[in-house]
Amino acid sequence: MKVLVIGGGAREHALCRSLSLDPDVTALYCAPGNAGIAEVAELREVDALDGDAVAALATELGAELVVVGPEAPLVAGVADAVRAAGVPVFGPSREAALLEGSKAFAKDVMAAAGVPTARSYVCTTPEEVDDALDAFGAPYVVKDDGLAAGKGVVVTEDREAAREHARGCDRVVIEEYLDGPEVSLFAITDGVTVLPLQPAQDFKRALDGDEGPNTGGMGAYSPLPWADPKLVDEVMATVLQPTVDELRHRGTPFSGLLYAGLAITGRGVRVIEFNARFGDPETQVVLARLRTPLAGVLLNAANGTLDLQAPLNWHDDAAVTVVVASANYPGTPRTGDPIEGLDEVAAEDGPEAYVLHAGTRREGDRVVSAGGRVLSVTATGSDLAQARERAYKAVGRIRLAGSQHRTDIAAKAAEGR
């Protein structure tokens, strides 16, 4: 099978790594990719937001499956253009991707499907914002309605800060604060059949101890030893299947990856958000544990034949990933600095620990930083403690001027807390 992956972050590197290990994959392309992905896939240039250009590239390459990684192309309708060109595509239509593209739309779908989520108001005027803030009280949760690369949400005790964030958005969702640990659960679906993956936990805040601003994600681990073993079944029954059914009944079936961001509250599981694609960095740990070859599963979802898919097999191993970010991330990141130590990780730590590239670029014989999140250092081990130790040992070999990373990824879970 010839596969084309669209995107160029650590999630796409993880996808390409898994696809490159799949014996059914005979050719692997990635557009636009990055310096790390170039080691496992052939890179092509494309404007990932231009559906006609992506469809033309897929046709030119003879791709038998296109996997769209990030949300922006999905919300722009890239999967529709590829599908219209007759090429199977893993990723939802523009209309179904609104589940991520509009928080207000997601709330409407959840209400119709009876999916448990935070109570919320959609506000467009300062008066509505004030009323909603008063209705829920602190801590305040204010979400930009549209896509914001993980940075559109402010959770704060400070009413003025909440009002100010709302002022910067055209339309905001203000909602009840949900207390409790967060879980990311991904499901692969063809619009009818839903196949859950293993749960993971992401660390959204920039600094240790969950301090600092929200980011796209600073690290992740899987499995979750503290979680109820029935969690996946419960979320399947109360969240994933009802949401997929609701979108199908609306005439806009969702096929691709449905990402449920969940809070495990004292009153039960609640959806914090949906995404319409694999999460980054959770994908790095989930795919590290997946034993079933990936391409066939994604193709079954793309073709509407997921009911024929054999159950997924998983490694017993645990996995941890630690994101190395540029100075100043999640603000405007410093870029263009050389990254050293990548060869040392490959020579000393593999295959249990490896580096997945996010914002990197090749410049002559050097690899330099080219974005906010630069690398996602991933490791497996017999338990979280070992995976964590291996991941941080590899992180310690990486030298990038001004870089930052959290030192507490998976720490509590590894200690059984």
Interacting residues toward ligand GLY by CB under 6 A: 150, 202, 216-217, 275, 279-280, 282
Q: How far is the CB of 22 from ligand GLY (least distance, A)?
A: 23
**Nearer to ligand AMP by C-beta: 263 or 288?**
263
Tell which phi-psi region holds residue 138, choosing left (phi > 0), alpha (psi between -120 and 50) or beta.
beta
Contact 17, 286 (CB under 8 A): no
265 interacts with ligand AMP by CB under 6 A = no
Strand 201-202: give its sheet, edge to edge: 201-202, 219-222, 318-325, 373-381, 353-357
**Nearer to ligand GLY by C-beta: 17 or 83?**
17
Show the tokens assigned to 207.
Answer: 């600094």
Piece of 66-74, 173-181, 237-245, 284-292 that binds ligand AMP (CB under 6 A): 173-181
The b-or-e profile of 274-313 (16+ CB within 10 A means b, else e) is bbbbbbbbbbbbbbbbbeebbbbbbbbbbeeebeebeeee
Of the residues 81, 141, 295, 355, which one makes contact with ligand AMP according to CB under 6 A: 141
**Nearer to ligand AMP by C-beta: 273 or 349?**
273
Q: How far is the CB of 269 from ligand AMP (least distance, A)?
A: 13
- Residue 91 binds which entry of ligand GLY, ligand AMP, none, CB below 5-8 Å type-dependent: none
- Residue 177 binds which entry of ligand GLY, ligand AMP, none, CB below 5-8 Å type-dependent: ligand AMP
| Total Cβ atoms within 10 A of residue 199 | 20
Q: How far is the CB of 201 from ligand GLY (least distance, A)?
A: 10
Show the tokens assigned to 257.
Answer: 């990856």
**Nearer to ligand AMP by C-beta: 243 or 380?**
243
| Total Cβ atoms within 10 A of residue 148 | 14
| Total Cβ atoms within 10 A of residue 32 | 15
Size of site (CB under 6 A) for ligand AMP? 16
272 interacts with ligand AMP by CB under 6 A = yes
Q: How far is the CB of 141 from ligand AMP (least distance, A)?
A: 4
What whole-number distance in Å separates Cα of residue 360 and Cα of residue 368? 6
Of the residues 177, 312, 346, 408, which one makes contact with ligand AMP according to CB under 6 A: 177
Q: How far is the CB of 77 from ligand AMP (least distance, A)?
A: 22
Report the amino acid identity of residue 298.
L
- Residue 107 binds which entry of ligand AMP, ligand GLY, none, CB below 5-8 Å type-dependent: none
Contacts of 247 (CB under 8 A, 6+ apart): 96, 99, 109, 191, 253, 254
Question: Contact residues for ligand AMP (CB under 6 A)?
Answer: 118, 141, 143, 150, 153, 155, 175-178, 182, 204, 214, 261, 272-273
